[in-house]
Amino acid sequence: MKNKIDKSNNHKSWHHPTVRWGFQISLLFALWIVLSGKLDVLFLTPGIISAVLVVVVTERIFHPNETAGFMNPPSSLKWLMKSILRMCWYVPYLIWEILIANFHVARLIISPSMPLNPALIVFESPLETESANALLAQSITLTPGTITVDMSRHRILVHCLSSNSLVSLSSGELIKKVANVYGQGNLKLPNMQQVTKLEEIIW
């Protein structure tokens, strides 16, 4: 795999907490300034305080949890920049999928027969990092017709509104797109199973 996931627990490059927190706080503070449009101390002070608080609260999200079976992404800044660029390509794809799913759900609602076929699907995510799995779970929820009900380690439970939503998820295209953002190659698509008993989702 070209961009091999780093299994070591080092804190080099952007993995170092100081670098990571500094970047996140600076980004949020810059966003605050852009949105407020003012450089007065009265506005800047709550801005920097808010940025610090957000980073502290969300550190659990940004910092990979190896104890849950997740791996650290590569430490190189080059890999990080490539991932940011790949994310820029992923966002338009996700927006397009959201638009298509919106039309599908709208058609289901206005159809006299309302051909709904709800189902619960469970699968083991092949994505190796915690942030990649979080992105997958959120992308599924953002797409109308599917919603992530629960995620425990690599196991994801999804509610599908119709057969079309189920087919779209089962194609694995979304999973492959998310894996590409994180440079994960040689991806083996998961076997998605429909939940028929309560015992199947008790983890």
User: CA 202: distance to chain centroid?
Assistant: 23
Q: What is the pLDDT of residue 8?
A: 46
How many whole angstroms separate alpha carbon 25 and alpha carbon 49?
9
Q: What is the pLDDT of residue 65?
A: 52
Residues of the chain with pLDDT under 70: 1-17, 60-69, 75, 198-203
Q: What is the pLDDT of residue 3?
A: 45
How many alpha carbons lie under 13 Å from residue 181 in its C-beta half-sphere?
Answer: 24
> H helices of 67-129, where?
77-110
Query: What are the residue ranges of CATH 3.30.70.250 in the chain?
Result: 77-197
Q: Write the CA distances from 165 to 22, 121, 142, 180, integer angstroms.
A: 40, 11, 13, 22
For residue 109, the one-letter residue type is: I
Q: What is the dihedral of CA 92, 60, 203, 168, to 10 degrees?
A: 0
Q: What is the pLDDT of residue 98?
A: 93
Q: What is the pLDDT of residue 176?
A: 92
User: What does the pLDDT look like over 19-33, one tens digit per residue?
Assistant: 777 888 888 888 888
Q: What dotted CATH number matches 77-197?
A: 3.30.70.250
Q: What is the dihedral of CA 124, 127, 129, 135, to 10 degrees?
A: -90
Residue 122 pairs with which residues in a beta bridge? 157, 193
